Structure 1
Amino acid sequence: MLKSLTLAIALVLSPVVSAQAPDWYPPQSSSNATITTPAEFLGYPLGEWHLRHDQINFYLKQLAAQSPRVSLEDTGLSHEARQQLTAVITSPTNQQKLPQILAQRAKVKQDQAENSPLVIWLAYSIHGDEASGAHAATALAYYLSASEEAWVKELLDKAVVLVTPTQNPDGLDRFSTWANNNRGKVPVGDNHSREHTQDWPRGRFNHYLADLNRDWLFLAHPESQGRVALFHKWQPHYLGDFHEMGHEQSYFFQPGVPDRTHPLTPATNQALTDKLADFHRDALDAKDQAYFSRQAFDDFFYGKGSTYPDINGAIGVLFEQASARGQLQDSANGPVVLSEAIANQFATSLSSLKGAMALEDELKQYQTEFFKGKASDDSRRLSGSLLRAPKDPARRDALASLFAQHKVEHFFLSRDVEADDLIFSAEDSLFIPANQPQQALVEAMFDKRTEFKDATFYDVSSFDLQSAYDLLKADEVKVSRNQLTADAAQSPEQALPDNAVAYLVDWRHSNAAPMLQQLLNADIQVKVATRGFSVRGIEALNWPEGSLYIPAKQAHVSKQQLRELLSRQSQEWGVKVVPASTFAGAGGIDLGSDDFRVIKPVKPLLIAGRGTSTTETGQLWNFLDSRLGIATPLIDASRLSRVDLGNYSHLIFASGSFSTLDAELARDIASFVERGGTVIAQKSALNWLSKNRLMSTELISSKEFAQAFDTKGLTFADRDSLNARKAIGGAIVELTLDAGHPLNYGMTDDKLPVMKNRAIGFKSVDKPFVVAAEYSEQVLKSGYMAPEYQQKLASTPAILVETKGKGEIVALADNLMFRNTWLGTERVYANALYFVPVSVR
């Protein structure tokens, strides 16, 4: 071990001229000397310093310029405008035929015989601080570009290899800067060293602090959108997904736990995964590198890099290397060294290539069988599913965009359709044909199940899009083609009349929220209706609570300027603006009523930093910044005591421990609320509010949840099963809403599905008008949640608003912004921002 460690350190620290060539280089006698090595490009051995994304990109471009085997795919920019490149490596002959190869690849989904090279995609470092993969990919790109070995030439004659070194450019650069800034010349293995303990938010996440390896299905971020577009362009047969895990572990490759594979994944998929695993076993045995499989990780949630291929006709394989999180880190198994981690990832990259080629015929046959019988249906009358987002074409269009990116065939309606005693309006509905190439993916997207062989989940146990988008759905519907259209009807540009006294906007449209924010930014007075109303002369009667009322007479703009602004906003957001020629109601209140409240400008403060949930903070930031267009300062919890809270309208807590906030700051926050501020807090942040008496409603304690589980008679062998039942990895539950509560304005039903992934809830509330939503009596809709939790949460509060002086505390037991994909629940946050401060009293 000492000899191995000494060699590893020598490789890292030796100057270029004397460094021993690492084992990812081809033999000098069988390599193309005109191709620049990574060490020659960098000026030091690969791995001596952590690579930045721009260095990797420049090196890929150099390889493409030097080698006829290499071309590049550009899949767009990250949030921070970093270019995302993938090296396409194959023989020079195949490079000349790439357009024909791509045309052949598309035919497999149309149930036509396959006649193209094997496509192998190796993708690395989707978590930016799992950097050994990006380094191994850089070495691999060189190896395949330069090697003259017979097996490499045969591989490139028969296959196209895609190499994506960095799937998370922004996170990788955040991490590499940290690791390089905090390392010394002499490697330090101490786990407490700054090199190994990144500051918040760490490099794992992208710009908006999202875990991109949970975004393959939902596509909330541009990095994911470009990656999935590349997947469907090339339709790979095999995808290797390279990660890192805890430094105390060894090396993992799939198969995962057999009983935790999604039931929609074909058995052949797992059989081929196990055949491929033999090649990884041989490769790591040859290196004396310990490994494991069939443990810890699963193949259930289809939103990850190793599982998305499984429901799209490919074989996805997860690799996990123990992480050095720097150059060297001590562990119980001995030191984890970056150079050795790179060598392991390189070894399983080669075993992936060799295994895929050895199983070429089986991989091709598997993909052909996967899409067999799933060609597009060209019948005049189609069978399928209808989906509707009532009164909200923006939500419908967001779903249509998601379908388009996943190559799911879908249609808009040219006229209303009735099914299951429901009306599916042409204004806000979609039709999904049952017979289509992506039918397996569609089935997975809307899969609902509550029973499982194994109740342990590495991620969520349900990801039903009907719930996430809060849709009406009818299945096994027959629809004629003349009722369908490929494109949504375009809203004509509105020419607003000059005799209007007011303008009305329906809040049920999701885009009404960002439109409202732009109006507030322009200093336009907007009011919200706290009671339903109707207006004389307007055909659409019964405007619900939450509808927006914009007086034609404004203090800062002329009537003409307002009309022009509203026309532009209507066109930009697709939101209809309805002019009213009178203040008179057609029954009920008039527009001059006090039941219309002026909406105040919003100036939120989002608490960030250590002690807060990184991903939940990022989701809130993304919503406020990207979706609503609100200038949102992120202020570390440790700095809050230096901030004048009076400068803000809302103080927002994502989940977190908030251990750095003391009693004095709690008093400051109480004063902020008493003076008219609003606190919005979710999940574990409620513990801090409760402990500091900022919230009077009692929480169900962790002890009470634990006592709901009967542990009498359990043996030590039952421990893992009990822990699995106690975990809520992510289940979909149902809320029952107080439909008239301001937090629920814009909702079209009194039932609302939410994602629940933490055991937290409220005890019953005696005061009236506090509870905005409670868990339904039949709480579980989809996924796994232990019966003990279901019984404990049924008919208890889930969302509430407490008034304190002139302000409010909005308390949410769940994350209603889950991964920026739960469009059905994000409206609650908009209501908390705009309506709670003016409407709850």
Structure 2
Amino acid sequence: MRRLILTSLAAIFASALSHNALAAAAQDNSVTAMWPGASYNEDSPSVERVLGYPIGSRITSPADLSQYFNALQQAYPQQVKLVEYGESWEGRRLFYAIISSADNIAQLSQFEQGMQALADPRQTSDAQAQQLIDSLPGSVWLGYGVHGNEISPPEAAMMTAYHLLAADDNRVKNFLDNTLVFIDPLQNPDGRARFVSRYYMTAGMQHSADRLSAEHNEPWPSGRSNHYLFDMNRDWIALTQPEIKGQVAALLTYYPLAFVDLHEMGGDSSYYFTPEAEPYNPFITAQQRQGLDWIGQNNAAWFDAMGFDYYTREVFDAFYPGYGASWPLYHGAIAMTYEMASARGHQFRRQDGDILTYADGVQRHFVASMATIETVSQRRQQLLQRFWQYRQSAINEAQNSEQRSWVIDPTGDAAGAHKLAALLVEQGLQVSRSEQAFASCGNDYPTGSYVIDAAQPGYRLLRTLLDPQVDMSAEFLAEQERRRNHNLADQIYDVSGWALPLLFNVDVDVCEQLPDIKQRLLQATAAIAPGQLLHADAKLGYLVKWGDMNSGRLLTAALRAGIKVKRSDLPFTHKSGDRYPAGSLIITLADNPQQQLPSKLKTLAISSGATIQGVDSSWVLDGPNFGSDNVVSVPQTNIAIAWDEPVQSLSAGHVRYVIEQQFNYPTTAIRSAQLARADLSHYQVIILPASRGGYSSALGATGVANLRDWVNRGGVLITLGNASGWAVEAGLLKTQLEKAVTDNSDSLSDDSYTAGQHITDFSQFLEQVKNTDADPYWVAGVLLNTDVDQAHWLSAGVKPQVISNYVGNQIFAPIDIQYGRNIAYYSDADKVLASGYLWQENRQQLAYKPFLMWQPMQKGMLIAFTQEPTYRAYMDGLNILFMNAIFAGAAHAKPLR
């Protein structure tokens, strides 16, 4: 694996052809102009030879993309290795290609071992590391098509692979001599399949460039998301989707030095590449930012030579760690986003009248891919050295930090603690499980607590995932406040609060010392630890303590198995002395006379993670007896989710995923317009996800009346986010939305004059020009402390305080006690912010405003979440509250059964 010092291809290329010739070639949208002047091995499998059409002339389907890479592997078996890393929800193949010289591919296992050694300075000496840095090839991961309707990146993946293998160009061959190129050609095959099939259904005899055409306006849901309608470019810290989980496993195998996520954006733009916009996450180092500049400058040289417009730094920041282009940074790579203006079809007429073609996007992404490969090849040794230094300095930084370890206490939520620990391990971090009880951080911890040594190479990733607060720079925040004062939009691109312990509502303590205890390193493990059935031959029945997802999964599994389950609205103490919290499950032999009940429950305990306790008596020392009115039967609940326009597709997908994949319970999607007149009596629960513009367009007055009648007859209507705002406007939910609070009272005497006043300073001027009828200011996304009313069955098993999310600008007035209850509400203004950046006006106004309201309606009820408890499917700490709304809600409704 030889080391090469390369002259910039862009400079060589520009010297061979004049700038005017390059610009003319770049404007030629024929597929022969992808790389002006290139020649290719005639025996190599081009896209046209394999698929029957020239590159960039048709939007390739997922199946054909897979077929093409198979053809490359067959043609170049010594230079191409295809690795499958899973399959999509709809069963499509997920794979990446490794392309390099025959020598590098033959020594792939040695490369893997070398990068694993370089990644752990605790096991590798400086001398050994230097030998690896001198000998290992560079590596770059190119990820294409995470959004299925961003169509040019996967096509560029085929062109990049073809060019690397077939180009008659010694410089390209030199790249492969010292660089491994990882190509994931299609991260989202389900979304792309949805887009391709629908696009060609709309095409006529000639492709339209008109942005009003059906070709350029996708039906609901768009191809952007995967089967469960997730934006997978937000999933890298939660790892809920197989398409992202598999990539993470691959990255932790090879630790590529550079990672590029290739996207598309609005068709009137140009091309965006690194360096990213402010703010940068503080755990990204100066050396990494310099590496991003290296990439950007070489990309710019290529784009200048080709006559392509581009921009950098203005948008797409590097703060939120959950992007594909962010997550690898915290393991020591350099990672970045590329964005190309999208034709969203074969051609698109821009605002200036120019026609943008699909082939334009393919070419620019291809050129950017090659420029990035060139930079990694040229900077191979520096990037390897900096990767080693990043991992080494992380350990040193941790050893000198006050945050020497973390302890995850499983006492309050065993399921959440285990899932959090397992998720950290899945992200390449080391977690141990204590094999004894111990005292640390001023607290006592039980056996089975999880301990994290901060002094590990992934220390900075641990910090950005576990720290309650990661701050944006003071300069950036000052600029955002200045922009707001001048009625300009802020530049906060995504959520500013994401700490996993807060999302999971799990207790994690920071310790200044590493506990000296007997512990066992946690290996890759399932997110659910097996449960157990105790006293299986019980004479009376079985009890399950409510309050975590182990018990939640047991409930849904039991209902699906036809087992009759009761739940207690109040806590009780069994005669054995065991204390059972509100919501605890009761399964009696009298209700379930089948002989195989114990064996069924044992199977369900193992799969759900729950501990089921057999009991011989129903006697309790305090609290309700099992025959009390405070003990209710949970019906086999049929759940419907509003689907299609005007529902926000991401919201619908998150809801369905959480119920089906986390709760393990089936749902039925019903198109919103059908809710207006359909007989809904089959369903106990209907969920309205967040919407775009409310449900009035789909439901109208008839739909509102149909839903009201269904609720009055015993249905449970659950509204999420702005669907709760629509419920207010529709007259279903008896509260109000608030305008922004302002002290500026405008006293007009008529339409032209107002009372005279003195403005004495700039702050008074800013107050004067405020909009007195404005909505609260938009919040990109924060985590808020939320207090919970413990005296209601909706809060059974829920802690007195939970962490909830807040995105947007809807603030609800508390519901009057005559109409219902405010079950969960935001904390005092001084305490409300748990994580992120919240404007001061919103902080003041959100205090004591409802997050969850319950409103009885004759035999049924309306349960309104003012935010989405299923947001991005990572708000695990709200799952029990959401389960209570569904299953306890159905248990407390009074329809004629």
CA contact (8 A) 1:50 1:180 kept: no
SS of the aligned residue for 2:670 comes to strand
Q: 1:409-439: per-residue Cα shift (whole Å, max 9, x none)?
A: 0011212333445443335x31111111111
CA contact (8 A) 1:461 1:783 kept: yes
CA contact (8 A) 2:652 2:689 kept: yes
What is the aligned counterpart of 2:850 among 797, 801, 806? 797
* 5+ long unaligned stretches in structure 2: 1-20, 478-490, 747-761
Q: 1:559-601: per-residue Cα shift (whole Å, max 9, x none)?
A: x221121111112222111111112112343323222111122
Give 1:761's aligned residue.
811
SS of the aligned residue for 2:142 comes to strand
CA contact (8 A) 1:705 1:759 kept: no
Equivalent AA in structure 1 for residue 423 of structure 2: L
Equivalent AA in structure 2 for residue 758 of structure 1: G
SS of the aligned residue for 1:660 comes to helix
Equivalent AA in structure 2 for residue 40 of structure 1: R
CA contact (8 A) 1:736 1:774 kept: yes
Give 2:864's aligned residue.
811
* 5+ long unaligned stretches in structure 1: 13-19
Cα distance in 2, alignment partners of residues 151 and 266 from structure 1 = 32
TM-score when normalising by structure 1: 0.92
Cα distance in 1, alignment partners of residues 36 and 437 from structure 2 = 63
1:467-478 superposed matches below 5 A: 467-476=502-511, 477-478=513-514
CA contact (8 A) 2:220 2:644 kept: yes
Give 1:16's aligned residue.
none
Cα distance in 2, alignment partners of residues 60 and 614 from structure 1 = 32
1:176 aligns to 2:214 (yes or no): no
Cα distance in 1, alignment partners of residues 879 and 57 from structure 2 = 45
| Matched pairs, number | 815
CA contact (8 A) 1:388 1:472 kept: yes
SS of the aligned residue for 2:876 comes to coil
Q: CA deviation at 1:24?
A: 4.1
Give 1:81's aligned residue.
91
Equivalent AA in structure 2 for residue 533 of structure 1: F
Give 2:115's aligned residue.
105
SS of the aligned residue for 1:597 comes to strand
Give 2:657's aligned residue.
622
SS of the aligned residue for 1:175 comes to helix
1:52-201 superposed matches below 5 A: 52-67=61-76, 68-111=78-121, 112=124, 113=129, 114-115=132-133, 116-201=136-221
What is the aligned counterpart of 2:734 among 673, 690, 696? 696
1:782 aligns to 2:835 (yes or no): yes
CA contact (8 A) 1:214 1:304 kept: yes
Q: CA deviation at 1:388?
A: 2.2
1:586-605 superposed matches below 5 A: 586-605=621-640
Give 2:609's aligned residue.
574
Q: CA deviation at 1:82?
A: 1.0
SS of the aligned residue for 1:752 comes to strand
What is the aligned counterpart of 1:727 among 763, 774, 778? 778
CA contact (8 A) 2:84 2:93 kept: yes
Give 2:358's aligned residue.
338
TM-score when normalising by structure 2: 0.86
What is the aligned counterpart of 1:360 among 374, 380, 401? 380
What is the aligned counterpart of 2:515 among 463, 479, 484? 479
Equivalent AA in structure 2 for residue 808 of structure 1: M
1:552 aligns to 2:589 (yes or no): yes
CA contact (8 A) 1:674 1:806 kept: yes
What is the aligned counterpart of 1:509 among 528, 548, 561? 548
Q: CA deviation at 1:304?
A: 0.7
Give 1:17's aligned residue.
none
CA contact (8 A) 1:87 1:164 kept: yes
Equivalent AA in structure 2 for residue 713 of structure 1: F
1:460 aligns to 2:498 (yes or no): no
Give 2:261's aligned residue.
241
Cα distance in 1, alignment partners of residues 226 and 212 from structure 2 = 24
Q: CA deviation at 1:693?
A: 0.7
SS of the aligned residue for 1:81 comes to coil
Q: 1:515-553: per-residue Cα shift (whole Å, max 9, x none)?
A: 2122222322211101111122x242x211100011111
CA contact (8 A) 2:787 2:825 kept: yes
Cα distance in 2, alignment partners of residues 296 and 65 from structure 1 = 41
SS of the aligned residue for 2:32 comes to coil
Give 2:3's aligned residue.
none
CA contact (8 A) 2:785 2:827 kept: yes
SS of the aligned residue for 2:350 comes to coil
Cα distance in 1, alignment partners of residues 885 and 623 from structure 2 = 26
Q: CA deviation at 1:473?
A: 1.9
Equivalent AA in structure 1 for residue 379 of structure 2: L
Give 2:416's aligned residue.
395
Cα distance in 1, alignment partners of residues 172 and 25 from structure 2 = 28
SS of the aligned residue for 1:95 comes to helix
Q: 1:246-302: per-residue Cα shift (whole Å, max 9, x none)?
A: 111111111122x31111111121122112211111221222221111102211111
1:683 aligns to 2:721 (yes or no): yes
CA contact (8 A) 2:715 2:893 kept: no
Equivalent AA in structure 2 for residue 510 of structure 1: M
Give 2:342's aligned residue.
323
Give 1:444's aligned residue.
464
CA contact (8 A) 1:110 1:374 kept: no
CA contact (8 A) 1:5 1:335 kept: no
Q: CA deviation at 1:8?
A: 9.8
Cα distance in 1, alignment partners of residues 326 and 241 from structure 2 = 18
Give 1:260's aligned residue.
279
Give 1:737's aligned residue.
788
Structure 1 residues 451 and 367: alpha-carbon distance in aligned structure 2, compared to 1, 3 A threshold: closer
SS of the aligned residue for 1:110 comes to coil
Give 1:670's aligned residue.
708
> Mean Cα displacement is larger for which, 230-239 or 736-745?
736-745
Q: CA deviation at 1:490?
A: 7.2
Q: CA deviation at 1:499?
A: 4.3
Equivalent AA in structure 2 for residue 444 of structure 1: T
Give 2:888's aligned residue.
835
Cα distance in 1, alignment partners of residues 806 and 446 from structure 2 = 31
Cα distance in 1, alignment partners of residues 355 and 496 from structure 2 = 36
Equivalent AA in structure 2 for residue 786 of structure 1: W
SS of the aligned residue for 1:494 comes to strand
> Mean Cα displacement is larger for which, 85-94 or 282-291?
282-291
What is the aligned counterpart of 2:33 among 22, 26, 29? 22
Give 2:801's aligned residue.
751
